[in-house]
Chains A and B, each alone.
Chain A
C-alpha cells in the first residue's frame, strides 16, 4: 500500500477539483435535507446538520477558487465529523438521540457514509500528493 501511494501520481487537477466539489456539496445537501427531522429528534443535531451544510458550501467554494488549500481540509473536517458522528450515534448513542442506537438500516445514512468516505479518500490523495487539484499541476522533469 505504501509502495502504491509512493509511486502513484494522478495529474488530473480539474477532475480532482470537480470531484471534491461535487462530493462535499453532496454531503452538505444530504445533511440539509435530513436537518428538519433531526431538529425534531434533538435540536443540537439539527443545528449541526445545518452547520454541516454551510461548512460544506464554504469548503466547496474554497476548493473551486483553488487557493488556499484549506478548503480541502475544511471539507475533510465536515466529511470526517459527519462520518464519525454517524458511527457514534449508531454504536454508542448521542445525547437526546438514543433511539438511533443500532439503527444501521438507514439508506440515507449508508449513502452518506459512502460519499463521505469517497471525499476523505480524495482529500487523502490530495494531502499525500498522489493527486493534484487545480490550479496546481505536476511539474515533471523532462
Chain B
C-alpha cells in the first residue's frame, strides 16, 4: 500500500482553511449579533425563538423595531465588533469566497493526486467497527493504532471525511439558502431545509459543529503528540518536530495579528474597508445573483400574523398630517433624467391599469423574515410613462423619513433614501406597493407607498416613498454609496444575499 504522506497542497489548503474559518466564525457571530435569535418558523413571531443570545426585553407599551433587538458583541468574538453588520457581512462573504475556492482546490487535488482520496473515503466496511474500536481505545486513554496503508485511524478517517464531504457542503448549502434571490427564484431549494429560518438555525448548528470539531481536533493533535503532528502539517514528515512547533506558534501569532489588524482597520477606516471588501465581494455576488428573478407565490395561509418592522415611521409634521387624512394630498413625484416628469396621486396609483399582487418572503438583512401579500403597480410601468432618457441608469427613492427625527438613536444624518438600477426595476415582481395583506399599507410598513424588489434584502425596499429621481450616477447623492444604509452603515449596494 502506497504511503499517502502529507503532500504540499494538503498542507497549504489546511493553512488557508484555518485562516478562512477563523474569519468566518467571527464574522458569522457579527451577523448573528444584529438579530441574536433563532427560529424554526419564517414568521419569526416575537417569543417563538428557540434560542436567543440577548437579555433585551421589548417594551409592551410603545412601538419597538428590530433595531432595538440588536446586540453589540465585543471585537474579541466578532469582526469588527460593535454595531457593524455591514462590515461583518462583507468579511463573511469575502472569506466564504476564499474558503469555497480552497475547498474546491482541496477536493479536486484529493482526487487528481491519485490515490489521495482514499485517506478520507472509506474503501471497506471494516471502517465502521474499526472506528468504534478506536473510540473505545480513546476512552481507555490510549492512542489507537493506524492501520497499514492509512494515514489516520478509522475514527479520524470517518470524522475528517464527514467534515469535508458533509459538514462543509452543509454550511455552504444552508448559507446559500438564506439568500433572498435564491429563495425568490427557487422556493423548492429553501424547502429542502424546511424554510428560510430553518436554514438559518441549521447554519448556526453547523457553526457549533465546526467549533466543536476544531476544539476536539486540536485537543487530539496535542494528545497524539503536538510536535510530531505539527511536523506532518508543516514539513510533510514526522521529523523536525521542534522546528514545526516554533513555526506553528509563529503562525498562530501571525494569525492573531492578522485578525487584530483587519479588525482595527475595519473599525478605524470603515469606508476604506467597505470599498476594499466590496471590490471582491460585489462582482462575485453580482455575477451569481444579479439575473435571478423572483417567482414567489406563497400560499395565503403562509402569511405571517405579526410581521416585524425595521425603522420608525417619519416623525415630520407634513407626513403626520397626510397620514391623518388618509394620504389624500400625497403625490409621488418622478423627475430627473426623464422626458416627462410626472406626479401621481395615491388614487392614480391605486387605479392604475396594471395591478399586481404577490405573496412573498421578506428577508431583513438582520436575519428575520415574514411572509406578506403585497399589491401595487409594476415599477417599470410608472417609469416608462415618464420616458427615461437614454443615459438614465438608476432610480433614487426619496422618502419622508428624516432619520434623526424619527429614530431615538440614529445611525446617520439626513433623509432615508435608496437606489436600484434599471435591471432590478424590470424584474417581474418589482412593484410600488400600496397594500399589504389586502389592506392599505400600514404606516409602520411604509405607507402610503413602498418599494418591493423581491430578490433583495429588506433595506433595499424603501418605505415611505415620496419621490423617485432618475439618475445616471448616484455618487453625488448623500455620501455617494447608493443608499442611506450604504452611506451610514457601510452596507453593499448588492443585496441578493
Contact = CB atoms under 8 A, between A and B. Distances in A.
Interface stretch (B106-114, B136-144, B242-250): B136-144
Contacts of A68: none
B61 to A, nearest CB: 10
B479 interface: no
B40 to A, nearest CB: 10
Contacts of B269: none
B409 to A, nearest CB: 20
B55 interface: yes
Interface string A1-41: 00010111111100000000000000000000000000000
Most buried by A among B47, B59, B71: B47
A8 B53 contact: yes
B139 A10 contact: no
B60 interface: yes
A50 B28 CA distance: 47
B255 interface: no
Interface string A32-59: 0000000000000000000000000000
A28 to B, nearest CB: 19
Given A141-B57, A142-B60, A105 B140 contact: yes
A138 interface: yes
Contacts of A7: 36, 52-55, 71
Interface in A101-132: 104-108, 110-111
Contacts of A107: 136-137, 139-140
Interface in B46-77: 46-47, 49-55, 57-60, 71
Contacts of B51: 8-12
Contact of A142 (B58, B137, B139, B142): B58
Contacts of B306: 142
A8 B140 contact: no
Contact of B58 (A106, A108, A141): A141
Nearest to A6: B55
A105 B60 contact: no
Contact of A9 (B46, B52, B136, B137): B52
Nearest to A15: B50
A4 B52 CA distance: 11
Interface in A71-127: 104-108, 110-111
Contacts of B49: 11, 140
Contact of A140 (B36, B46, B139): B46
Contacts of B71: 7
A106 B139 CA distance: 7
A138 B137 CA distance: 42
Contact of B139 (A6, A8, A110, A139): A110
B46 A142 contact: yes
Interface string B23-61: 000000000000010000000011101111111011110
Contacts of A110: 139-141
Interface string B304-320: 00100000000000000
B57 A140 contact: yes
Contact of B47 (A4, A10, A140): A140
A110 B135 CA distance: 11
A105 B141 contact: yes
A106 B140 contact: yes
Interface in A54-71: none
A110 B306 CA distance: 49
A59 to B, nearest CB: 25
A8 B52 contact: yes
B197 to A, nearest CB: 14
A12 B50 contact: yes
Contacts of B46: 140, 142
Contacts of B57: 140-141
A142 B49 CA distance: 12
A108 B36 CA distance: 39
A142 B53 contact: no
A118 B46 CA distance: 30
Nearest to B58: A141
Contacts of B141: 104-105, 110
Most buried by B among A4, A8, A141, A142: A142
15 contacts: A6-B55, A7-B55, A9-B53, A10-B51, A11-B51, A11-B52, A12-B51, A104-B141, A110-B139, A110-B140, A140-B46, A141-B58, A142-B45, A142-B47, A142-B306
Interface of A: 4, 6-12, 104-108, 110-111, 138-142
Sorted from nearest, which 5 A-B pairs have the closest CB atoms?
A: A140-B47, A110-B139, A107-B139, A142-B46, A105-B140
Given A12-B50, A110-B140, A142-B46, 10 more contacts: A7-B52, A7-B54, A7-B55, A8-B52, A8-B53, A10-B50, A11-B51, A12-B51, A138-B47, A140-B49
